[in-house]
Amino acid sequence: MTPERAAAVGALLERVPGWAAGRPEVTAVGLCGSWAAARARDDSDVDLVVLTARRADLAADLGWLAGLCGGPATVDRVRDWGPHLTEVRAVLVDGLEVEVGLADLAWAATDPVDPGTERVVTDAWVTLYDPGDALGSLTHAVHRRPAADVVVTEDLVRRLLAEQHPDLADHALVHADGGWDNEMYRLGDDLAVRLPRREVAAELAANEHRWLPRLAPLLRLRLPAPVRTGRPTRGFPYPWGVVPWLPGAPAWREPVAGRTAWAADLADALADLHVAAPTDAPVNPFRSGPLANRDEAVRQRLLVPVPGLPDAGRLQAVWRDALAAPPLLGPPTWVHGDPHPANLLVASGRLVALVDFGDLTAGDPATDLATAWLTFDEVGRAAFRDRLMARGALDGPTWRRARGWALSMGLTMVRRASDPAIGGIGRHALGQLLAEPGPPAS
């Protein structure tokens, strides 16, 4: 993408919140399409949805368009898309095409969500202005847990145990957790049964079953390494496992300042994990490649304002510095892929477990060290870094690349409207990056 086109789109998106705040008839504004998905090209148009109670008035009088576009624009077409949406397509003087969907309030209804609305929001969506949380309610409704490919029930779990691990079949069984990809049942006091509910999770489960028993002895923290595994059957087509029941609560629930107490423990765990990975280790394209593979997506996400974090220029400097850092020189190491506060378990003020190895891969240890910004404040980050340095597990280029990974992950996470905890972790990381003075030393 040319710098000129990126600058034009960035200026347009920066104008949106102020423009909307000055128009009382505008309820909310969202970005959709290729720019929201960070996969735009030079010839991609900018797709906006303006939620308003006065759709017909705005469609009839386009005087508002110049303020939104920052100058004169040639209207290419105005047409209705169904009963709740009017499309206004305009071309700016620099050739940038802007498509504004004027949507009435019924377009964002959540009971039920209109199928057309759901397609738009599901494909890619970033909320730019929403003081009344009208779009927040919509995105939460759309990004609900996906339907299961196989429905997991207590009866199914008991049947699988009876068939394959009959000595465990009579233990107490209680549903403990259900995520997007897996269901978890507590089994007795010390075990749990973890089963994929979607086909996409089956390969990840197989990876964990193969590799976690080999990795667990390396770390001082507990891992969900299976103590028993289950094979696919006619009634359940995926591998499943019996794992230790790991006590504790996700670290994101703990105040950030309290995490400093175990920053060195996390540093030790990651230093222990970051040994050379075998050639047949899992490959995760989102975590295993060099940071430069994320360049275009990060640059496009930096063009989209994050409410409350306006200084995109400083974040761009962080990204440039990370890309300029020397690459990993040694062999790829084991990488957890997501050691952020939602995957760290804490009990009685201590870090006790590292969970969710679905992104496990061979790659650059800097990927995992992004947790320094995702998890800690300045004090905790210093303790984390000091322990890594003492272990000989960190150098200047790796720390710079880790900052870049923190930025990439933070920009992705802050858009996770479906999970406020993950969104909060992303916002925290971006705030920590902005709070640091200047580029990191090499």
Residues in the chain: 442
Residues 86 and 65 in one domain: yes
Query: Which of 109, 143, 177 is the last residue before a domain boundary?
Result: 143
Q: In sequence order, what DSSP letters do the residues of 242-254 get, joined into one string? A: EEE---SEEGGGS
Residues 265 and 408 in one domain: yes
Report which of residues 31 and 136 the model is more confident about: 31
Residue 440 has pLDDT above 70, yes or no: no
pLDDT for the residue numbered 56: 95
Residues 288 and 419 in one domain: yes
pLDDT for the residue numbered 69: 94
Residues 162 and 117 in one domain: no
pLDDT for the residue numbered 442: 42
Query: Which of 244, 269, 302 is the last residue before a domain boundary?
Result: 244
The CATH number of whichever domain residue 21 belongs to comes to: 3.30.460.10
Compute the radius of gyration of the chain from its Cα atoms. Answer: 24
Q: Does 427 fall in a domain? A: yes
Band of pLDDT at residue 438, cut at 50, 70 and 90: low
pLDDT for the residue numbered 372: 99
Q: Does 332 fall in a domain? A: yes
Band of pLDDT at residue 417, cut at 50, 70 and 90: low
Q: How far apart are CA 267 and CA 372, in angstroms?
A: 9
Mean local confidence (pLDDT), 24-36:
95
Question: Residue 138 belongs to what domain range?
Answer: 3-143
Mean local confidence (pLDDT), 183-196:
97
Residues 313 and 356 in one domain: yes
Q: In sequence order, what DSSP letters do the residues of 291-304 get, joined into one string? A: GGGGHHHHHHHHTS
Q: How far apart are CA 368 and CA 360, in angstroms?
A: 10
The pLDDT > 70 percentage for the chain reads 98
pLDDT digits (tens, 9 = 90+) for 312-355: 788 999 999 999 999 999 999 999 999 999 999 999 999 999 99
pLDDT for the residue numbered 310: 66
Residue burial 329-352, b: 16+ Cβ < 10 Å; e: rest: eeebbbbbbbbbbbbbbbeeeebb
Q: Which residues contact 97 (CB under 8 A, 6 or more apart)?
A: 45, 46, 76, 89, 90, 91
Structurally, the chain folds into a number of domains equal to 3
Q: Does 148 fall in a domain? A: no
pLDDT for the residue numbered 441: 42
pLDDT digits (tens, 9 = 90+) for 205-242: 999 999 999 999 999 999 999 999 999 999 999 999 99
pLDDT for the residue numbered 72: 92
| Range list of H helices, 346-395 | 366-369, 371-375, 378-390
Q: Does 268 fall in a domain? A: yes
Element spanning 86, H or E: strand 85-92
Q: How far apart are CA 180 and CA 63, in angstroms?
A: 45
Pairing of strands 191-196, 73-81: unpaired
If you ran DSSP here, which 8-state letter would residue 339 be given? -
If you ran DSSP here, which 8-state letter would residue 66 be given? H
Angstrom CA distances, 143 to 84, 137, 180, stand at: 21, 10, 10
* Cis ω before 112 (30° cut-off from 0): yes
The CATH number of whichever domain residue 344 belongs to comes to: 3.90.1200.10
The CATH number of whichever domain residue 203 belongs to comes to: 3.30.200.20
Q: Does 442 fall in a domain? A: no
Q: Does 22 fall in a domain? A: yes
pLDDT for the residue numbered 439: 59
Residues 285 and 168 in one domain: no
Residues 8 and 121 in one domain: yes
Residue 307 has pLDDT above 80, yes or no: no
Query: Which of 143, 178, 204 is the last residue before a domain boundary?
Result: 143
Residues 222 and 297 in one domain: no
Mean local confidence (pLDDT), 282-305:
91
Residue 307 near residue 31, CB atoms below 8 Å:
no
Q: Does 61 fall in a domain? A: yes
**Dihedral sign (CA 237, 239, 244, 245):** negative
Residue 127 phi/psi, 5-degree rounding, is: -80, 125
Report which of residues 306 and 366 the model is more confident about: 366
Q: How far apart are CA 73 and CA 50, in angstroms?
A: 17
Residues 95 and 169 in one domain: no
Q: How far apart are CA 246 and CA 261, in angstroms?
A: 20
Residues 197 and 297 in one domain: no
pLDDT for the residue numbered 180: 84
Mean local confidence (pLDDT), 309-313:
74
pLDDT for the residue numbered 418: 65
Residues 58 and 158 in one domain: no
Q: Which residues contact 234 (CB under 8 A, 6 or more apart)?
A: none
Average pLDDT, the chain: 93
Q: Label residue 290 exposed, middle or buried (CB < 10 Å: 0-12, 13-18, 19+).
A: middle
Residue 266 has pLDDT above 60, yes or no: yes
Q: Does 440 fall in a domain? A: no
Residues 416 and 310 in one domain: yes
88: nearest Cα among 105, 70, 101: 101
First vs last Cα of the chain: how many Å apart? 29
Residue 78 has pLDDT above 70, yes or no: yes
